[in-house]
Amino acid sequence: MRRFAIMTDWTAVTVLAAASSMSFAQQSTVTTTPDRSPAGSPPAQEPPGSAASDQEGIEAPVLQITSVEVIRTAHAPVLDIIRVRGLASSSGWEEAELLPLTRGKPADGMLHLMFVARAPAEAMEANGFETVEAIFPLETDHPFKGVNVHSATDSVTVSSIPGYSEGKAAGDDCHKCVGKVFVARGSAAPSGKPASELVKEEQLPPIKRVIGPADGIPTADSNPNRLTLILNREGRIVTAVWE
């Protein structure tokens, strides 16, 4: 599990922000164990199925933020502690943390953070959201008047420190979607179908794609925050995965 550091030197925010940008830019790559073989020697070969040869999940923003709280400790040394809770798209997300996006002292006094975690290496069935949480401590001589935390689909702001804010309600996690009829946004629901047998597009998370039996798939990119629904010829959902 990654360790967090108390931010006492505000030039460090710039360093961590740069590291955050590099990590985010590389989120589509596979993390592997670095080669530490002597110069000129062939890289060490790992046996098939070994831990070092297995693919690891990518680091990505979590799906949504449910709350942001900044707590001020009552005893010296006094700290402000940012506590963020959110929802991951599926089970299997690990190492949740808050990465600073702010560089140096911000003109508006707001500290911007990105809420990320290590996503599963493979596509996951839509079996329900999972709660994740992370903290980020600050000394009280920091220059920030508030905090804005970003996820894959939203952001939540605490405008004054200490303080508390909640995010918007989450959409349908689609854990009961399979077997139901999909209704595209703006389309009329099939006549004679009860609401319990329908899945309306506007009720689902914002990042999604729907693949019908005659549709092509133009890209093979992966996004652990994207819900993919596969429909049969009757418009029923036969597969629901986060991939």
The percent of residues in the chain predicted with pLDDT above 70, rounded, is 77
- Backbone φ, ψ for residue 17 (5° rounding): -65, -40
pLDDT, tens digit, 9 for 90 and up, residues 105-145:
999 999 999 999 999 999 999 999 999 999 999 988 899 99
Q: Where are the domains of the chain?
A: 11-26+57-166, 181-242
pLDDT at 140: 81
Residue 29: is its pLDDT beyond 50?
A: no
The span from the CA of 162 to the CA of 102, in Å, is: 19
Residue 4: is its pLDDT beyond 90?
A: no
Task: Answer with the residue of higher pLDDT: 9 or 167.
Answer: 167
164: its two tokens:
């508390």
Q: Which CATH architecture has domain 181-242?
A: 2-Layer Sandwich (3.30)
Q: Which residues pair with 229 in a beta bridge?
A: 210, 240
Torsion of CA 156, 141, 96, 205, to 10 degrees: 10
pLDDT, tens digit, 9 for 90 and up, residues 64-115:
999 999 999 999 888 999 999 999 999 999 999 999 999 989 999 999 999 9
Task: Answer with the residue of higher pLDDT: 29 or 233.
Answer: 233
Task: Answer with the residue of higher pLDDT: 106 or 47.
Answer: 106
Q: Which amino acid is at 97?
A: E
